[in-house]
């Protein structure tokens, strides 16, 4: 299953669609939260991630995978709108504080 098709006129929605695909699709995301500069993602299968394409994606400034959580450094200006776009794509619900999908 891949993220539902939604309008990609918004750059954050377009980027979220791209990142979710590189992360192995919606079914591979267990939780997604954020801090000041990073998306924090718990994955069902770390092997499903396209690490090379993710590393080369222009929105990803850095990446750390500690084996449990994948951290994507996206910067302080992008982190909240990008998290919201991802969560909206994953859940279909636009909720400012709906940072997790279970």
35, 44, 53, 64: the active-site residue: 35
- Judge whether 35 counts as a catalytic residue: yes
Cβ partners under 8 Å of residue 73, min gap 6: 37, 38, 60, 61, 62, 63, 64
Q: Which residues are catalytic?
A: 35
């Amino acid at each position: 299953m891949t993220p539902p098709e939604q309008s990609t006129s918004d750059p954050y929605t377009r980027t979220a669609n791209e990142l979710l695909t590189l992360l192995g699709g919606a079914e591979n995301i267990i939780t997604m939260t954020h801090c000041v500069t990073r998306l924090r993602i718990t994955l069902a299968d770390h092997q499903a991630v396209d690490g090379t394409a993710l590393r080369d994606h222009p929105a990803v400034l850095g990446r750390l995978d500690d084996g449990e959580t994948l951290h994507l450094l996206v910067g302080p200006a992008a982190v909240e709108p990008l998290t919201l776009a991802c969560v909206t794509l994953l859940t279909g619900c636009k909720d400012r504080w709906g940072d997790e999908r279970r």
